[in-house]
Amino acid sequence: MTTLPSATEKKLGLVIDLDTCVGCHACVISCKGWNTENYGAPLSDQDAYGADPSGTFLNRVHSFEVQPPEGHAQLVHFPKSCLHCEDAPCVTVCPTGASYKRVEDGIVLVNEDNCIGCGLCAWSCPYGARELDLAEGVMKKCTLCVDRIYNENLPEVDRVPSCVRTCPAGARHFGDLGDPDSDVSKLVAEREGMDLMPEMGTKPVNKYLPPRPKDQIEDQIDILAPLLAPVTEGPGGFMGWLDKALDKLPGQSSGGTA
């Protein structure tokens, strides 16, 4: 069971566009909503309305600041869920066979009836994709909405993972990354999709599309500004007289340098 399949018929996964993601967290909420009501144990919360709330989530959105050597910093919103790795360390470390990778589509799942909640799979995952549910005592992880994508009771448009269906920015794409002619594979090829922590040797199926380079922000943002240059630098008239008169009085004036 915990032996990884040498190859899978499909490599279903997600392509996440870091250029388009606006960091709204809608995917986080829709994931929690769908997966707490469907496949497996609900995603519990602890102290949800108290001083120290926390809970189980299968998808979380980080935000990073990237400061290039020159120019302005860029903010990158960064959704992270299970990457359904080809060489998934979480599967082989499982002592009970509860964790497995499906031969037909490559989805990594947990059979919650067999999980003893030892947590070793979460220890072995470099991406933090697995969380132990405190109420249920079993490991929870992204199922790629296995209960949606093949579900003929749903309209065809809904047969994609909940996060993909929900994303208002179109930053999440679902498909077969094992098929070079699929839309997602073409997208990855075109946008130079990347792996997270490739040095870990996990061969993630999910790919991330890097943010496109931003236009340079010039020092002078408004091209009309030079035409609106102020006529005089210092105050004149009554205000000018008052300014000079107050300067002459003994004592410290705050503000100006005069």
Partner 1 sequence: MHPAPSVIVFTTLSGLGFGLLAYLGLGYPPVTGWVAFVFYLIGFGLAVGGLLASTFHLGRPERAWRALTQWKTSWLSREGLCAVAALLVMGLYAIGAIFLDQHWTLLGLLGAVLSIATVFTTSMIYTQLKTIPRWNMPLTPVLFLSFSLAGGALLAGQERLAPWLLLVAGAVQLAYWAKGDQAFASSGTSMATATGLGDRGAVRAFEPPHTGSNYLLREFVHVVGRKHALKLRVFAFGLGFVLPVLCLWLPTESSLAKHLMAAVAVLAHLAGVVVSRWLFFAQAEHVVGLYYGKR
CA dihedral 205, 22, 20, 143 (to 10 degrees): 20
The candidate with the shortest Cα–Cα distance to 195, out of 88, 83, 102, 65, is 83
Q: Which of 107, 125, 163, 184 binds partner 1 (CB under 8 A)?
A: 125
Distance CA 131, CA 56 (A): 6
Distance CA 22, CA 88 (A): 29
Q: Is 20 in the site for partner 1 (CB under 8 A)?
A: no
Q: Is 62 in the site for partner 1 (CB under 8 A)?
A: yes
Nearer to partner 1, 4 or 154 (CB): 4
Signed CA dihedral, 130, 37, 101, 149: sign only: negative
Q: Which of 146, 154, 169, 196 binds partner 1 (CB under 8 A)?
A: 196
The tokens describing 217, both together, are 């922000």
**H/E element, 79:** strand 74-81
The candidate with the shortest Cα–Cα distance to 209, out of 182, 190, 228, is 190
Nearer to partner 1, 57 or 174 (CB): 57
Q: Which of 110, 122, 144, 188 binds partner 1 (CB under 8 A)?
A: 122
The half-sphere exposure of 4 on its side-chain side, counting CA atoms within 13 A, is 18
Binding flags for partner 1, 220-249, as an x/- string (CB under 8 A): ------------------------------
Q: Which of 24, 26, 29, 78 binds partner 1 (CB under 8 A)?
A: 78
Q: Is 138 in the site for partner 1 (CB under 8 A)?
A: yes
Q: Is 44 in the site for partner 1 (CB under 8 A)?
A: no
CB of residue 38 to partner 1, shortest distance in Å: 21
Distance CA 176, CA 55 (A): 31
Q: Is 137 in the site for partner 1 (CB under 8 A)?
A: yes
Binding footprint of partner 1 on the chain (CB under 8 A): 1-3, 18, 25, 28, 52-57, 60-69, 73-76, 78, 80, 89, 91-98, 114-120, 122-128, 131-134, 136-139, 194-201, 208, 210-211
